[in-house]
Structure 1
Amino acid sequence: MSYYADLGFEAITPEALRERTASPAVQRFLVEGVGPVSVSGIPELGRILLAHGAGAGHLSEFMRQFAAMLASERLQVWAIDFPYMQQMSEEAKRRPPPPVKKTLEHFAAWYDLLASCSGSPLWVGGKSMGGRVASLFASQHRCAGVIAAGYPFHPPKKPDSLRTDHFPDIATPMLILQGERDPFGSREEVADYALPDSLHIHWLTDGDHDFKPRRSSGVNQQVLIDEAAIVAASFVRAQ
């Protein structure tokens, strides 16, 4: 895939990957059979498999800043692109994500590979759709826990189409980092939901779905992204 090769992603086999992940620097690999991944940080607290949202891949500004801050907090981040996003990047053409079952299958393949690489605790997480996929995975498989940034509780302007039915099946700790004004689930809306005790929500002041606040709030998006990552690392540390 020329797009990833041009960005310095190194083609590598899954077997070779196991020997190449001890560096604190960001490493980029194009792993045979699964695709691109950016690895950052040392797994002092553990590791997290991190998936992107529906419209932008793991190299987006949001994802790179979130991953960098998690890594600075001693959590090793494995940020991936789903196959449809790989195709979007190669063709420079937008396309909708496939049914969530297909995306979940790819996420599970990555999890199986990473679980075999190390005995370090492996968390799952993601931005928006990626967080939903991670939570669906955790409702069906054992993992260390879930971190979701901007969880899509419902599609915008469709508050009755909730995506929470699987939450009671998640047996591990789950943290949602949510902007107070998120159109996929605002603080006011979520207050009325019946959510399991194992799920924790941290609200980001005046943030929207991308944690971008209004200018009048006195904070900015970069501050809220960093806050979200620091809270996430603290949550992992506390488990």
Structure 2
Amino acid sequence: MLEDIAGVAHEPDGTPVGAVALTHGAGGNRDSPMLVAICTEWARRGWLAVRYNLPYRRRRPKGPPSGAGHDLAGVVEAVRAVAAMVDGPVIAGGHSYGGRLTSMAAADGLQPDVLTLFSYPLHPPGKPERARVEHLPRITAPTVFTHGTADPFGTIDELRAAAALISTAEIVEITGARHDLGSKKLDVPVLAVDAALRLLR
């Protein structure tokens, strides 16, 4: 099953509380240090955490996405496959492009218990008029946005306006971080997992 979605599982000690399915940004893959760190934290908390490659990345090791349609279907396939591996809640999300696709899948009927979106790409850098928020009001899952205050894909104020389109949303601000969410002062995985668990409860 993991082979079908090019997934890598981080397994907890004992029976999993639930499952987490996370995917990568447009230029990355399932092995990005951020995904590895976040999945490690989820497993430490007792969850089965799977990081997986989107369909375009399964086809070729480098290069940008070539069309969101196949990738969107790949998100649905992967989240459902991961959900079938456990008896418990399911959390889905991803970084940048992968998070945006997961949010689109949630808006179109995928039903994770919580969405966790890292560096949501509100618009291309320097082009705030090209906002990518039209589907957000259709999301019913509680949603966590983990976002750097120096992210060129959207300011915190822009993110607050976008998050307000979702009935239940929380923002985890990472001071000084850019799109990669790198921080020497804050433990990003711990903060993101804490926020998702708060919304789950």
Amino acid at match of 1:229: A
| Aligned counterpart for 1:124 among listed residues 92, 103, 108 | 92
Larger Rg: 1
Q: Distance in 2 between matches of 1:191 and 1:119?
A: 34
1:165 corresponds to which residue? 134
2:197 corresponds to which residue? 234
Alignment CA distance shift 1:231-1:73 (3 Å): same
Q: Distance in 2 between matches of 1:110 and 1:161?
A: 28
1:66 corresponds to which residue? 38
Structure 1's unaligned 5+ residue stretches are 1-13, 15-28, 214-219
1:86 corresponds to which residue? 58
Question: Secondary structure of the equivalent of 1:152?
Answer: coil
1:109 corresponds to which residue? 77
Q: Distance in 2 between matches of 1:35 and 1:61?
A: 19
Question: Secondary structure of the equivalent of 2:197?
Answer: helix
Q: Distance in 1 between matches of 2:91 and 2:150?
A: 27
Amino acid at match of 2:121: P
2:9 corresponds to which residue? 39
Q: Distance in 2 between matches of 1:135 and 1:206?
A: 25
1:225 corresponds to which residue? 188
Amino acid at match of 1:231: D
Per-residue deviation, 1:111: 2.4
| Aligned counterpart for 1:211 among listed residues 158, 178, 181 | 181
The 5 Å alignment of 1:185-200 reads 185-193=154-162, 194-200=164-170
Structure 2's unaligned 5+ residue stretches are none
Q: Distance in 1 between matches of 2:133 and 2:11?
A: 31
Q: Distance in 1 between matches of 2:55 and 2:161?
A: 36
Question: What do you get for the CA RMSD once the two structures are aligned?
Answer: 2.1
Amino acid at match of 1:85: R
| Aligned counterpart for 1:183 among listed residues 152, 170, 174 | 152
TM normalised by structure 2 equals 0.87
Alignment CA distance shift 1:151-1:228 (3 Å): farther
1:127, 1:150 within 8 Å by CA — same for their partners in 2? Answer: yes
Alignment CA distance shift 1:72-1:229 (3 Å): farther
1:73, 1:233 within 8 Å by CA — same for their partners in 2? Answer: no
Per-residue deviation, 1:233: 4.6
Q: Distance in 1 between matches of 2:146 and 2:167?
A: 16
User: Which stretch of the first structure deviates more once superposed, 44-53 or 178-187?
Assistant: 44-53
Q: Distance in 1 between matches of 2:34 and 2:73?
A: 24
Alignment CA distance shift 1:73-1:87 (3 Å): same
Amino acid at match of 2:197: S
| Aligned counterpart for 1:151 among listed residues 115, 120, 123 | 120
Question: Secondary structure of the equivalent of 2:141?
Answer: coil
Q: Distance in 2 between matches of 1:224 and 1:210?
A: 13
Amino acid at match of 1:67: C
Q: Percent identity?
A: 25
TM normalised by structure 1 equals 0.74
1:95 corresponds to which residue? 63
How many equivalent residue pairs?
A: 197
Q: Distance in 2 between matches of 1:58 and 1:232?
A: 22
2:172 corresponds to which residue? 202
1:175, 1:235 within 8 Å by CA — same for their partners in 2? Answer: no
